[in-house]
Every structure is written in C-alpha cells, then in structure tokens.
Amino acid sequence: MKDTDIFIHLFKTLHSYYFYDVNKNAIVKINESIYESLDKGENRYEDANIKKLKERGFLDEIEKPVEILHPLTDKIDSYLQNNLSLLILQITQNCNLRCKYCIYSGSYTNRVHTNKRMSFETVQKAVDFYYEHSKNTEIASISFYGGEPLLEFQLIKDTVNYCRKKFNGKQLNFNMTTNATLFTPEIMDFLAKNKINLTISLDGPQKIHDQGRVFADNKKGTFKKIIKNLEEFQHRYPDYVDTISFNAVFDEGNNFKDSSDFFSFEFFKKATVTFTTVSNRDSKEARDIQEEFTIHYKYELFKMFLHCLKRLEKEDVSKLMFVHMNRLKNSVHEHLRKPFLFEGKTHPSGPCVPGMNRLFVTVDGEFFPCERVSEKNTVFNIGNLEKGFEKEKVKELLNIGRYTKKQCSLCWAMGYCDSCMADMGDGDKLIANKRLERCASIRYTTDELMKEYCVLRENGYNFES
C-alpha cells in the first residue's frame, strides 16, 4: 500500500476489501474499485462513492499531527489518591527454583535472586497505603509475588489475617502465582480455606517442563513433584482445584503442539490455561523462533476459528487458543467502540496508569508500575512507602508516546499499540529507539488481528455472544 495523506490503513481478506479510519476508529468495508483508488492515491475525490464516504466523516486528511498527550494526565492526582486497583507485594526475592528463562536468572538486565524478604512491618505499611488510596475501588485485590511466595508462608498467613481486619466489609481477593513444589497439607488447607486465586506455573509435558524449571539445589526437573502435589491437592479439595489457573512459558525452540496437547488432558478440563513465550525484553541473548513452532501455533489458531464458525467441536481445539479469541474481542471489537481522539489529543494505547493498575511494592517498600519492569532501572521507581508517589515520574511514564511523538502521531496503529514503558528501559533511562524497534511488529500484528476479526464476521461469527 502506498502512503497517502489520509489517516487510514487499507487491508483485504480473501473475499473483501476494507480500510481502517484512524480518526473515526472504525473499520469500513469497501469495494475493489474504491480500494484500488485509495491505494493508488489517485482521483479519489472524483469517485462518487468516495465522496459519500467523506460526507459521512470518513477519509479525513491529516492537516497537522495530533498532539500526543495521554487523556488521563490531568487526572493522575485523583486516580492515585483514590483508585488503586491491585497491590502486588514482593514478599521475597528468593526462590527454590532456578528456571533457566527466569528474568531474575542472571540472563536479563535485572536483579538476581537474593535472600531478601519483606518484613511484616513493611507489609502493614503497604496494605495501609493501599487501603487509603483505593477508596473508589469496589474490590480490593492483593497479590503475593516472589521469587517463590510460599517460601514465606507464615508471612502470607499474617498478611491475609491483617487484610481481613483492615478491609472488613469490603470484598477482598487474594492472588498468588506459585511453582507448586512447596505444597504441604497445611498450605493446601490454607489456600482452599481462603479461596486464594491461584496460578500455577507449568510449562507442559515433563520433557519440556524440566528443560527450564529446575530446583535450585540439585538442578533436577520439577515436573514429577508438581504433578504429585496436584494429585494430592485434587484429592483433598477437588472443587477448589477446579478453580486453579495454569500459566505456561513456551520456548519457541520447542514444539508448540506437544505443550498444547498436554493441556487438553482431563485434569485441565475446567482449568484456565494461558501461555507466554520466553521474554526477549532486557535479555542479554537473542532467542530464535523455530519455524515448526509457528506452523503448529497457526494450525491450532485455524482450528480455533473453525470452532467459532461451528465447523469443529470445542474438544478438538487447543484450549490455549481461547485466549486469542479474548484478545480479538477486547483488542479489536471492544476497542472499536472507544473514542480515539480527544480534542485533537491522543496517545498510543500501550501504557497503563503507572501505580494505579498494578502497584508493585518491593521488599524494601519501593514503588514500581508493575512487576514486569526492571527493578534496576531507577526511571521506573515511582515512589516508596515513606514519601508516597512521585507523580511527575508517573506522568512521564504515562506519556511515553511523547518520546516518539512524531512517529506515533502519524501511525495508523497508534490506538492498538501495546508497547509499554518496560520495552524502553536501558540503564537508568527510557530510550526512544527501543520503542521504535517494535513498531513494525506491532503494525503487522494489528493488521493480522483486523483481518482475522473481519474474516470471522464475514462468516457469521457474533462477537457479542
């Protein structure tokens, strides 16, 4: 497609033609003639159909770049004062595993595992801070984070008891991600009794899981221990175990199908299973993606689409693919309903509100926007329990699009960008070029999502169902 001065993106499926109008945040189906005219950028104003589209407010030209400013910038004080959503407590920096792809393994530009733990005094201060700054939040949510959080089981019990008293009369949810190797009858009883929203890290069948997830003391794989614990847990609390979620980290050098098939077993029938791939963010070494991994992934995705169109039964589809359908619905269908420009101002959609969505409190009481940023980069440190938020730093991280405002203001995929601050860290700075390195990939992914969305709708799929 050739560049034009109209703020649109042209794309086509096997049978249809479309443009995405950035100013209107709308996908419009067109005929081949209009598509070719727009693609060539020639005589577009002489076409009667194009004139009708312009009369309806589509195909506006870019008279000047829009101003890159996050619409919530002026509301930061209020949001941080009353609307904190999730508190994440780093109760320990230690772990009984040494997963080879862990961001704290030494293979990434980040801290490494240490014996540091959060004191109960710090827990109390963090919970009190969250309590005072979440008045408008209907459900209080607190997550336990490590390392491996169950290394500090007594601290977790004390924290839960303290929170129950502090938030008396308000719905309170607790979350935890664990490697599931430390389960004891006492721990199982506690987790089930308190209805902890539990996510277990499990990467697939033993051969794949044990490649990366090994014990710290003997480097042996952890698969057998986890399965044994899960079987005992299911025997004791079958209803609770049905609520447990699983998260897998896939090495793209492995076979996607092997792990996908593993999670189709009866044990995982009711479980929510999500997956990510081994992170390249801040990695000291680049990772290769095997063609076989991509082929099997796309085949499973194709089967998911056939199921959506009632041409394949649910049990014949990898449950890992349902996450992709949620992404299509949230990232395209729901997103098309939202306004994009606010009085000539907008911002790429990547950043959340730092500190509000996921306030991450370290063992030392330092504040970070979430658990995914590097704790070694001081630009991500947005305050602490003693002084509260550094609001100017929060505003800077909220407005990372200003680092690349020229490129962002002219980018058709700006409203669907998922580049966040964590992608930009370098030492103690935010680097614009690190953000720009992902642009081509983001535009490609957005184009693919829009095509998938339109193909499903062309074939009768209802995203409202």
Q: Give per-residue pLDDT as tens, 207-220.
A: 999 999 999 998 99
Residue pLDDT, tens place only, 427-442: 889 999 999 999 999 9
Q: What is the pTM of this model?
A: 0.92
- Max mean pLDDT range (96-110, 165-179, 276-290): 165-179
All residues at 6 or more sequence positions from 247 whose CB lies less than 8 Å from its CB, including other chains:
177, 199, 200, 201, 202, 273, 274, 275, 276
Question: Residue 203: is its pLDDT beyond 50?
Answer: yes
* Structure-model confidence comparison of residues 315 and 339, the more confident one: 315
- According to DSSP, the residues that pair with 249 across neighbouring strands are 276
Q: Which residue from 156, 145, 146, 166 is spatially nearest to 120, judged by alpha carbons?
A: 156
Among 20-24, 227-231, 447-451, name the one with the lowest average pLDDT.
20-24
Q: Residues 447, 11: contact at Cβ < 8 Å?
A: yes
464 burial via Cβ count (<10 Å: 0-12, 13-18, 19+): exposed
All residues at 6 or more sequence positions from 71 whose CB lies less than 8 Å from its CB, including other chains:
342, 345, 346, 347
Distance CA 212, CA 222 (A): 9
Identify the pLDDT of residue 1.
Answer: 37
Distance CA 112, CA 177 (A): 18
- The mean per-residue pLDDT over the stretch 332-351 comes to 84
7 burial via Cβ count (<10 Å: 0-12, 13-18, 19+): buried
Residue pLDDT, tens place only, 352-408: 999 999 999 999 999 999 999 989 899 999 999 999 999 999 999 999 999 999 999
Write out the two tokens for 353: 């509100």
Identify the pLDDT of residue 343.
Answer: 72
Which pLDDT band, with edges at 50, 70 and 90, does 344 fall under?
confident
* Residues 187, 190, 191: CA angle, nearest 5 degrees: 85
Q: Rounded to an integer, what is the distance from CA 201 to the centroid of its chain?
A: 16
Residue type, 359: L
Distance CA 431, CA 361 (A): 24
Strands 429-430 and 425-426, how do they pair? antiparallel
Write out the two tokens for 406: 């020229």
